[in-house]
Structure 1
Amino acid sequence: MDGRTAAGRTTDRGRAGGDQGSAADTVQAVGEFALIGRITAGVKYPESVQLGPGDDAAILAAPDGRVVVSTDVLVDGVHFRTDWASPEQIGRRAALAAMADISAMGAVPTGLVVGLSAPADTAVDVVLGIGKGLHDTAAEHGAAVVGGDVTRSPALTLSVTVLGDLRGERPVTRSGARSGDVVALAGRLGWAAAGLTVLSRGFRSPVSLVNAYRVPEPPLAAGPTAAASGATSMIDVSDGLLADLGHVARASGVDIDVRTIALDVNPRLTEVASALGRDALDWVLTGGDDHALVATFPHGATLPPGWQPIGSVTVADPSGPRVTVDGAVREGATGWTHFGSA
């Protein structure tokens, strides 16, 4: 997904939160391998990295014997805008969005492999800032950027592949929800959607909402905790709560009902929505990019810390699996999709 910037894209490819550097400071002038050397210089790696960048491939320890893999692609003007976020924020966002998918399987991230494509006149500082954001964020969660590739392209693009470790636990997929399960949420919803709306209207505040769009705060530790606590299904909320629960409903062959009274609609969201003529609940139900986690747990199970019940799982409607809100099918879009309405 995930961060839609239909308001336009920046045309000054050397600029990302600052002025374009001189010709000597562009990626074309520095060259591919020198640029990679500068990105990786001084980076420290955890013990799980047996061989880091610099060879044809990296080597990671896989003590569980299984490797969880997921890839996210982010494109300038679609998922982010360089005049809305600093290079470091873009890197952090890319890392967190990708690692959230690993968490949603019940695993912990161990390594990131990054493909970066950029116009030739992109300032080197932009790429170095993105690299710092990626490296720092991975390290904060016990992982590391272990390799990747740099190439030329018309648009600044990041492809982040994350590897994860299940640590002996079973994977939690989308297909395990059963009638009678409780639907629970970890993390916040609606903040990034509100921040995107604010930025799209030409504002830069409230900063708390704008920053929620620039750099999400996914509860990465909550995924493995949910797996260990018996979660039957789980998914990263990247495209919208209703849209992503729809994936769970279809994969599991069930209906899912969300209770709006159980959802936390922060007063700040309500205040900003009122000022902008929007509905805060709509942001919570259909907004993406916060990368909260939603899971199902057996009826009567004790939810782990950080998880709150927001709904229930029932037998699928004769017309097919569906997601309802307070018992009724919601009209209109349920979230984001790149090639149409969800």
Structure 2
Amino acid sequence: MSSQHVPNGSTVAELGEFGLIRAVTENRRQPESTLLGPGDDAAVVAAADSRVVASTDVLVQGVHFRLDWSTPQQVGRKAVAVNLADIAAMGAVPTAVLVGLACPADTPADLVRGLTDGMWEEAAGAGAGVVGGDMVQADQLVVSITALGDLRGRAAITRSGARPGDVVAVCGRLGWAAAGLAVLHRGFRSPVSVANAQRFPEPVYAAGPAAAKAGATAMIDVSDGLLADLGHIAEASGVGIDVRTELLDVHPRLVEVGTALGADPLHWVLTGGEDHALAATFPPFADLPEGWRRIGAVTMPDSGVTVDGAAYAGESGWQHWLS
């Protein structure tokens, strides 16, 4: 959408609900899976598989993002990415996104345009469309996203299929968003690549369907931290999981940032959330898809998650409702 649709300096109240909706939906391209996009009471999305994978997340200003750290476009990208990563983690291909937006009446319309620009950009990059949603007045900025996906004839990959002897593997970055959060909290804005990892994740959407095709037995989006999320697989599958630190990729840039801040980069890799990499288990002799790397193994039933054979000291990842 070009800026000519939003008068300079206007607020969402001045533009009005329908004017704002037109401004952020006109002249947008949709994928073939969008049979009917924004403009009616509901959208129509193709579901050739006859099953629809669905996920939703809520992002609250000051909790999940800060506009003094991130541009509206980056927040929009993040809001969509965290949901589409869940779709990929089920082995599905993203098809559509629905947006719920709550904001104060004096919110600049340009801010909303930036948010939606980021949403459209991220959705398009995953092959999905932004097909509808709702906008309401609220005391603070809240973004809610519902994402849909298509299994394309395959079984959904859940958390409960891991078996002893399986290989544990990941695809995507680990520890970068946690390092970025540490950088931003210290008042720095560089290294930009690290700070940007906190501002918006870069999930490898195609890795989920690829893992499903390769026979993955369980899979999860790493949103709360590697150990915490592997713990969900271990609990759901009734198994143990052991992570080997010598197999983890601790990027030199994370080592540099950790040294500068007096922090352990391995801790970021093991427990940092919001990278939205994918973690999965595969049969012992399966060929891992491109981009996937082995980091450990599934162990004896109900033995929990260990690191190099021992319990990990400290929190394993993000926990909601705790300050």
Q: For the superposition of Structure 1 and Structure 2, which TM-score range results when normalised by the shorter chain?
A: over 0.9
Aligned residue runs from structure 1 range 213-224, under 5 A: 213-224=198-209
Q: Give the whole-Å Cα distance in 2 for the aligned partners of 1:275 and 1:136.
A: 34
Q: Distance in 1 between matches of 2:187 and 2:128?
A: 36
Partner residue in 2 for 1:325: 307
| Long gaps (5+) in structure 1 | 1-20
Counterpart check, 1:140 vs 2:133: no
1:137 positional shift: 1.3
Deviation at 1:23, TM superposition (A): 10
> 1:88 and 2:70 equivalent?
no
1:65 and 2:50 equivalent? yes
1:198 is matched by which residue type in structure 2?
Answer: V
- In structure 2, the partner of 1:7 is none
Deviations 1:40-62 (A, max 9, x none): 01111122111111111000110
1:112/1:147 contact within 8 Å kept: yes
Provide, for residues 69-128 of structure 1, a one-character-per-residue CA deviation record: whole Å limited to 9, x for no partner. Answer: 000111100110011111111101111111000000000110000000011111000001
Whichever residue aligns with residue 334 of structure 1, its letter is: S
- State the partner residue of 2:3: none
Q: CA deviation at 1:140?
A: 1.6
Cα drift, residue 338 of structure 1:
1.3
Match of 1:74 in 2: 59
Secondary structure at 1:336's aligned position in 2?
coil
Which residue of the other structure, out of 213, 216, 233, is the alignment partner of 1:231?
216
SS in 1 for 2:148: strand
Partners of 1:167 and 1:105 lie apart in 2 by 12
Which of 162, 165, 183 aligns to 1:177? It is 162
The alignment status of 1:123 with 2:105, answered yes or no, reads no
Task: Tell me, in whole angstroms, the C-alpha distance in 1 between the residues paired with 2:7 and 2:210.
Answer: 49
**Structure-to-structure mapping, 1:1-342, within 5 angstroms:** 25-316=10-301, 320-340=302-322
Counterpart residue identity of residue 16, structure 2: G
Matched residues, number: 318
Deviation (angstroms), 1:321 = 4.4
| Structure-1 separation of matches of 2:8 and 2:73 | 22
Runs of 4+ in structure 1 over 6 Å off: none
TM-superposed CA distance for 1:340, in Å, is 3.1
Indicate conservation of the 8 Å contact 2:241/2:297, yes or no. Answer: yes
The C-alpha deviation readout for 1:286-326, integer Å capped at 9, x for no partner, is 0011100000000111111111000000112xxx4410000
Let me know the Cα RMSD of the aligned residues.
1.4
**88-97 or 231-240, which deviates more:** 88-97
**1:340 aligned counterpart, secondary structure:** coil
Answer yes or no: is the 8 Å Cα contact 1:23–1:29 preserved in 2. Answer: no
* Contact 1:250 1:321 survives alignment (8 Å): no
* Structure 2, unpaired ranges of 5+: 1-5
Amino acid at match of 1:338: H
Query: Secondary structure of the residue that 1:25 maps to in structure 2?
Result: coil
